[in-house]
Amino acid sequence: MATRSKSSQRWLQEHFSDPYVKKAQAEGLRSRAAYKLEELVERDRLLRPGMVVVDLGAAPGGWSQWVRQALGDDGRVIALDILEMPSLAGVEFLHGDFREDAVLSRLEATLGGQAVDLVLSDMAPNKSGMEAVDQPRAMHLAELAMEFADGHLKPGGAFLIKLFQGTGFDDYLRELRRRYARVAIRKPAASRKRSPEVYALAQGKLTVRK
């Protein structure tokens, strides 16, 4: 039997001793990522009854699960991921690759012309370990998410997206600032400190681009 590498052993040790992992298990949440969203949403009061929320890169469902619970019986939560996701009551799930036009068309058909109040994107590419490959892939997904928000988010709506600092990051923020009244970078407490991920929160979608 092959022995686990020191890095994988360290990851497993950190994972099972992680207080957010333990809390998620105790509270019946699908992932520790729910606590990242909880902090971000509550700090900026992003949710209101009756909202339409689209969750891109949703699997295993931690964000969609938390949003559905927070909204109660009001509004809609539409989740999409390239991975399969076990069903969640009150969440409409689409399985597919967001980079494909056919999948985007299915998402648009599901919305049925309804404008979106909040777009969430926790999408990330499969990591190769080479930044010269991984960062462009991550930024491509981020560009697609921003284009979706451009076309479907209602004026005044909000867009929350995971980004990785590196090539293209500053240009992306400049584009967000052209489109939204307020843009802030957040690093929630539940994000692992060594992770290069941050979250860009863009609020107040402008009706006319500058």
CATH code, 200: 3.40.50.150
Q: Which of 118-127, 155-164, 165-174, 201-210 has the lowest mean pLDDT?
A: 201-210
81 marked among binding-site residues: yes
pLDDT for 12: 44
171 marked among binding-site residues: no
**Helix/strand/coil (H/E/C) assignment for every residue in the chain:** CCCCCHHHHHHHHHHHHCHHHHHHHHHCCCCCHHHHHHHHHHHHCCCCCCCEEEEECCCCCHHHHHHHHHHCCCCEEEEEECCCCCCCCCEEEEECCCCCHHHHHHHHHHHCCCCEEEEEECCCCCCCCCHHHHHHHHHHHHHHHHHHHHHHEEEEEEEEEEEECCCCHHHHHHHHHHHEEEEEEECCCCCCCCCCEEEEEEEEECCCCC
Decide if 26 is inside a domain.
Answer: no
pLDDT for 9: 58
Domain count, the chain: 1
Between the ranges 40-44, 104-108, 133-137, 163-167, where is the mean pLDDT highest? Answer: 104-108
117 marked among binding-site residues: no
Decide if 71 is inside a domain.
Answer: yes
pLDDT for 10: 54
Residue 138 has pLDDT above 60, yes or no: yes
Decide if 22 is inside a domain.
Answer: no
Residues 29-64: tens digit of each pLDDT: 546 667 788 888 888 899 999 999 999 999 999 999
pLDDT for 20: 45
* Residue 210 known to be catalytic: no
Residue of 6, 23, 36, 162 with catalytic role: 162
Decide if 16 is inside a domain.
Answer: no
Decide if 37 is inside a domain.
Answer: yes
pLDDT for 208: 59
Q: Which domain holds residue 116?
A: 33-205
Decide if 168 is inside a domain.
Answer: yes
Decide if 161 is inside a domain.
Answer: yes
Decide if 53 is inside a domain.
Answer: yes
pLDDT for 158: 98
